[in-house]
Amino acid sequence: MIATLPVLPPDPVQWAWGLVLFWLALGFSALPLQRSPRALGRLVFPAGALGALGIAGVGMAGMVLPASTAILPIGLPDLPFHLRLDALSAFFMVLLGGAAFGVSVYASGYFRSMAPGPLALLALWYHLFLAGMVTVLLADDAYAFMVAWEVMALSSYFLVTTDHKIPAIRSAGFLYLLIAHVGAVALLLAFGVLHGGHGDYTFDAMRLAQTPPFWASVAFLLALFGFGAKAGLVPMHVWLPEAHPAAPSPVSALMSGVMLKTAIYGLLRVSFDLLDVQVAWWGTLALALGLVTALYGVIFAAVQSDMKRLLAWSSIENIGIIVAAFGLTLIFATDGKGALAALTLTALLYHALNHAFFKGLLFIGTGSVLHATGVRHMGHLGGLMRFMPWTAWLVLIGALAIAGLPPLNGFVSEWLLLQAFLLTPGLTQPYLNMVIPVAAATVALAAALAAYVMVKFFGVVFLGQPRDPALLEAHEAGWPERLGMLWLAAGCVLLGLFPALVIGWLAPVVQLLTGETLVNDASWLLLAPVSSERASYAPLIFFAVVLTVLLLTILWVRRVYHGRVRRSAPWDCGYPEQDARMQDSAEGFGQPIRQIFEVFMKVERETPDPFSRTPRYRGASLDKLWFLLYEPIARVAGWLSDQAARLQHGRIQWYLIYSFATLIVLLVFTR
């Protein structure tokens, strides 16, 4: 009798790579199906959603299992692809898979009306985009990381330029690709510094390298610039308000909810894993950049009239909050306060996960509005709650979550971050003890303005009266779209109601990066990150109290006042002919913010004709940094291109002279 060895299950990293290959096969299989758009919508995108659910499951396993590695037989002869799945990459895979599942389910219905040819190409780039992001998280050497980073950038570029026949969309795609590649060059240089000339580009070699503080600072600054360009940190943010409105709504949801987090992953990987030292001023720099980005983003979000542009600026604000938490984590870590670093890092990871769910929900909800009305400008919308109740109520959950209202998820992460700010007076650096209270006030101001922005967004779009008669024909989203939104809305609710469980689940990541864990000083019902005597939050109890008060109020009103209310026409202030134009507009709602922060904007106003029967007031609040920083660079680049064009005479003898002169220079100055 021959004894047989038990078949061991593959490591999580092998499962993850198998799902990457599944997505690649799924994307390329869409090309032969381009003559069957129904199969694309009902087969390819739902299968991609199942792949996303599988990625989330592998990430959940990777959070509790030891780190696993693999070497693939692809790449360069002496540099194959190295893969690694540890707690950090596993967490971001859960974030990616959880958000991508809802977005992919939504996309299976949203893209059904597209022409078969463009839909097949979109399905290819869509799943290539997902595969590229997962490979970024798995890469364990600089070569594999940069190849995956480039795949992610190029596939997302083609997704942004889906409607490439529109010049503005082509321009937005070019700007995105340009800044993405400038950031990629910085990352390549950062890995060159980390590699230290040893000829080994694996992350294991970088972890073992002894990097001097000066070169460690150079690598950190290059990484902060490169990943900041991808994340949308000010002043590298200019691509984001252009690319997100140009892309289809499910693509915008993935780019904002997931792709921006790959930059956060990269910052954490380089700063806490690959670099063996951290310098104190790194945290101060990151904190300042994050706060400026958060405040800058929310100010511009408040004055937008385009739905998707508003959400894009809101993403900049949330990335600023995450980077501010990253800077505060570095400050605590370099000051020897590991427990506080664990608290701040937990808030960072929690907010990154929250943002993936509520921003994905808001973008696809906006896509439903755009699909039903064909209108993106909020000045032409209004009253959609009566025509699109499913979309309105689900978007309301996302709006309340991003506004930071309990008991939803956005409140928990911002509350944890503010708790960390309140514990900073014990720092050894006196200037930080003076500066950080101002930073905490800035975070609170950004959170308050975010709530203001969401009141404007939801109120103008869904409440009031329709501002256009065509809105009376608006239709509700289909069932695949509703299920996708419902999944993301459920994530916003569950992440808000069970924060103690989520914090316990995040413990392996926090332990890996800081060497400490955040211990909740209470039961699973109560969140007390420091001590129950200092500060605590009970979301389930809060939710039960609010729900009880609401139900009692409804019952009391129905019992006491039902049938006793006299119905009559409301007092109309002496104006018998009210219409939708008399309600507050998007421009009017943002006018106070525009007046206060006009110094940061280039405001263009259109003066209406005073003799017109329907005068319309329009104003555009443009980013002044674009005109101060990027336009001069564009003019210099144009001038250099014109000078280089003079070398092209069309004569072969001149080209031979250029080649000969170049050869002589190389022979003289090289050995």
pLDDT tens per residue, range 316-356: 999 999 999 999 999 998 888 888 889 999 999 999 999 99
Amino acid sitting at position 361 = L
Q: How far apart are CA 400 and CA 407, in angstroms?
A: 9
User: pLDDT tens digits for 424-480?
Assistant: 667 777 777 778 888 888 999 999 999 999 998 998 888 878 877 777 788 888 888
Whole-angstrom Cα distance, residue 569 to residue 512?
65
Instruction: Give the containing element (helix H, strand E) for 454.
Output: helix 430-462
Can you tell me the mean pLDDT for 177-182? 92
What pLDDT, on a 0 to 100 scale, did the predictor assign at position 560? 73
Please answer whether residues 333 and 279 qualify as being in contact, where contact means their C-beta atoms are separated by less than 8 angstroms.
Answer: no
Rounded average pLDDT over 214-237: 92
Asked which of 299-313, 373-387, 398-412 is least confident by mean pLDDT, the reply is 373-387
Identify the pLDDT of residue 168: 86
- pLDDT, residue 9, reads 58
Mean pLDDT along residues 349-371 = 93
- Residue 330 has a pLDDT of 93
How far apart (Å, rounded) are the C-alpha atoms in residues 444 and 440?
Answer: 6
DSSP string, 525-549: T-B-SS-TTT--B-HHHHHHHHHHH
Give me the mean pLDDT over the 14-29 stretch: 92
pLDDT tier at 565, thresholds 50, 70, 90: low
- Sign of the C-alpha dihedral computed for residues 548, 552, 555 and 561 taken in this order: negative
Percent of the chain with pLDDT over 90: 39
Q: How confident is the model at residue 577 (pLDDT cuts 50, 70, 90)?
A: low
Q: Where are the domains of the chain?
A: 10-202, 597-605+617-647
Give Cα 497 distance to the centre of its chain.
22
Contacts of 575 (CB under 8 A, 6+ apart): 582
Tokens of 444: 């609170």
- pTM for the model: 0.90
Q: Is 597 left (phi over 0), alpha (psi -120 to 50) or beta?
A: alpha
CB-based contact 311:359 (threshold 8 Å)? yes
- The confidence score (pLDDT) of residue 2 equals 45
Instruction: Give yes or no for a contact between 53 and 63, defined as CB atoms under 8 angstroms apart.
Output: no
pLDDT confidence of residue 659: 83
Mean pLDDT of the chain: 85
Position 151 pLDDT exceeds 90 = yes
The yes-or-no verdict on residue 44 having pLDDT over 80 is yes
Q: Write out pLDDT tens, residues 226-284.
A: 999 999 898 898 899 999 888 899 999 999 999 999 999 999 999 998 988 888 889 99
Q: Is the per-residue pLDDT at 601 higher than 80?
A: no
What would the pLDDT profile of 63-74 be if each residue is shown by its tens digit?
Answer: 988 888 888 888
* The pLDDT of residue 139 is above 80: yes
Give per-residue pLDDT as tens, 106-126: 998 888 877 767 888 899 999
Cβ contacts of 70 within 8 Å, gap of 6 or more: 11, 13, 14, 17, 82, 83, 84
pLDDT tier at 664, thresholds 50, 70, 90: confident
Distance from C-alpha of 262 to C-alpha of 145, rounded to nearest angstrom: 11
Using the predicted structure, report yes or no on whether residue 378 has a pLDDT greater than 90.
Answer: no
Does the pLDDT value for residue 170 go beyond 80?
A: yes
Q: Quick one: tokens of 264?
A: 């956060």
Three-state secondary-structure class, residue 34: coil
Tokens for 64, please give them.
């509790």
511 token code pair: 């332990």
Long-range CB contacts (within 8 A, 24+) of 537-544: 537/406, 537/412, 537/415, 537/499, 539/406, 539/407, 539/412, 539/496, 539/497, 539/498, 539/499, 540/407, 540/497, 540/498, 542/406, 542/407, 543/406, 543/407, 543/497
Q: What share of the chain is helix, strand, coil (3-state, %, to 5)?
A: 70, 5, 25
184: buried, middle or exposed (CB in 10 Å: 19+, 13-18, 0-12)? middle
Identify the band that residue 85 occupies on the pLDDT scale cut at 50, 70 and 90: very high
Q: What does the alpha-carbon distance between residue 419 and residue 502 come to, in Å, rounded to a whole number?
A: 17
Span 510-525, average pLDDT: 78
List beta partners, residue 605: 619
Q: What percent of the chain has pLDDT above 70?
A: 88
Q: Residue 613 has what pLDDT?
A: 54
Which amino acid, one-letter code, is at 129? F
Residue range 291-318, pLDDT digits in tens: 999 999 999 998 888 899 999 999 999 9
Q: Are 268 and 513 in contact (CB under 8 A)?
A: yes
Cβ 93 vs Cβ 58: under 8 Å: yes
The pLDDT of residue 506 is above 80: yes
pLDDT for the residue 136 = 95
Per the model's pLDDT, the better-predicted residue between 201 and 255 turns out to be: 255
- 68 forms beta bridges with 85
Short-list 392, 393, 356, CA closest to 373: 392
pLDDT above 70 for 614: no
Residue 610: burial class (beta carbons within 10 Å; 0-12, 13-18, 19+): exposed
